[in-house]
Structure 1
């Protein structure tokens, strides 16, 4: 039975899913062009000038690895190009770091901090021991996005700003800089639509507070000391038991963490998720987070930084 399931997946479900994705992205011609642009972006990441990380700079965290470092480098480069601030970049190993990748990071981001799996495992053992948090440990194996919570917010310290890598800054992000200089409450950006993967009713029943609208975790600042890991363990188990697994689990959990807080929400006219073609060409807003079909625009726009 298992062999049959693997056969069906390999010869039917996976090809069908990829075909549907290609059609969603505009067809084979558009998709192939996008892949070529992605390759160009990857190759061009080595041409970006090194960006120094400052020990006393404003701290920004990235979960990254072999598949995403080129995006992280472009995001960082776009930020320092539009801002006069000094930043301290902390890169969290998504499980794929090796000696070559670490050497590349040290070359491209001199004096940045690298949090390796060894350190992450020590933090998890201390703060989220396996016997007390079996669900979160299992989700880390199955669902890498949850590491943006578990692997970053078990690092010592309080307020932490976490950025997704697939973003580009086009103007000085004054609101974000102001928050980094004096964080007082959680901060996040609006999504282009509600994307939690779970019903708001279930989420609210579990956390006991109204769920904020359209939380997008491309930009999110939380206080690690205020995170209730026991509650998260229960929430994940209950969400998946009642409504199954979801690609957006980490976003749902983050929205639940924000449910009883007075939050700061970034201006959605300046911090844009899934920019349109017109917005992508204009490049006047502070930040674009390239998701879904805007990935077609992302790889082309990134090359502006090396041309």
Structure 2
């Protein structure tokens, strides 16, 4: 997959775009980011603005690989954001958010990608697009709040959603998956997020970064009354009864589905 990512025929991104998306990536995920972004850019014939945020490990060489596959992609480094983060989230007022961000790159998915104070659609890298995402394009055009939703029985949060709803006095959406999150960052109350971090850390014995970050984003988009995307935005778990469909907009590969993702699924993007 890494070798193939270096040999993709470039898709030049146009300034005349109908969708803007953002990724967080680094040394472990750069090739996955290329394939997800490339699959989307090819479907939209380059009419998409793509922002790629470094998790702190994205070297100039790796950035060059992404730029080669997607000319005009926007690469944002840690240094590019340092002044803005200090201004919006001074350490004296947001010690927990700042500490979490420094300790684990998963929290940069929230802080770095949402410090921009505007509407963005953030995407995980372990996904592939197979059809034009009209629902996301409409959401982008209309500034609407959407999220990807799991189909497993329970929510993948650090605390049960009914407990969070009661303690924080919000109507918590069930089974939010942060693979796709579309909302306006200007609506974030960062002081509320800091207090929520304190609440979660007080009530959760061990911080599991992916679940913790997903829970934080789920709380935010629930407060913003976000809606789930339609079923063609698929989350695959490699369940024995699971089948892909030609109408799938996107496939998000988690758990055992990582195996077909890394061996066969990505190959469909370059056929």
TM-score, L = length of structure 1: 0.80
294-303 or 48-57, which moves further after superposition? Answer: 48-57
- 1:279 offset after TM fit, Å? 5.3
Instruction: Give the equivalent residue in structure 2 for 1:288.
Output: 251
174-183 or 214-223, which moves further after superposition? Answer: 174-183
Aligned residues of 2:14 and 2:46 also touching (Cα < 8 A): no
Aligned residues of 1:206 and 1:235 also touching (Cα < 8 A): no
Query: In 2, Cα distance between the equivalents of 1:105 and 1:226?
Result: 31
- 1:239 offset after TM fit, Å? 0.7
Instruction: Give the equivalent residue in structure 2 for 1:35.
Output: none
Aligned residues of 1:202 and 1:239 also touching (Cα < 8 A): no
> Radius of gyration: which is bigger?
1
Instruction: Give the equivalent residue in structure 2 for 1:160.
Output: 120
- 1:72 offset after TM fit, Å? 0.8
Which of 184, 204, 225 matches 2:186?
Answer: 225
Corresponding position: 1:252 with 2:190: no
- 1:103 offset after TM fit, Å? 2.2
SS in 1 for 2:173: coil
Query: In 2, Cα distance between the equivalents of 1:237 and 1:261?
Result: 20
TM-score, L = length of structure 2: 0.90
In structure 2, stretches of 5+ residues that fail to align are none
- 1:151 offset after TM fit, Å? 0.3
Higher helix share: 1
Aligned residues of 1:275 and 1:288 also touching (Cα < 8 A): no
Sort the Cα spacing of 1:168 and 1:296 in 2 relative to 1 into closer, same or farther, 3 A: same
**Number of corresponding residues:** 264
Corresponding position: 1:53 with 2:13: yes
Query: In 2, Cα distance between the equivalents of 1:148 and 1:134?
Result: 17
SS in 1 for 2:138: helix
279-288 or 67-76, which moves further after superposition? Answer: 279-288
Which of 208, 216, 233 matches 1:271?
Answer: 233
- 1:77 offset after TM fit, Å? 1.8
Query: In 2, Cα distance between the equivalents of 1:85 and 1:203?
Result: 41
- 1:201 offset after TM fit, Å? 3.6
Question: For residues 14-71 of structure 1, what are the alpha-carbon distances to aligned partners after superposition, in whole Å with 9 as ceiling and x for unaligned?
Answer: xxxxxxxxxxxxxxxxxxxxxxxxxxx1121112121222334221100011211101
SS in 2 for 1:66: coil
Sort the Cα spacing of 1:297 and 1:122 in 2 relative to 1 into closer, same or farther, 3 A: same
Aligned residues of 2:149 and 2:228 also touching (Cα < 8 A): yes
Cα RMSD over matched residues? Answer: 1.9
Aligned residues of 2:150 and 2:235 also touching (Cα < 8 A): yes
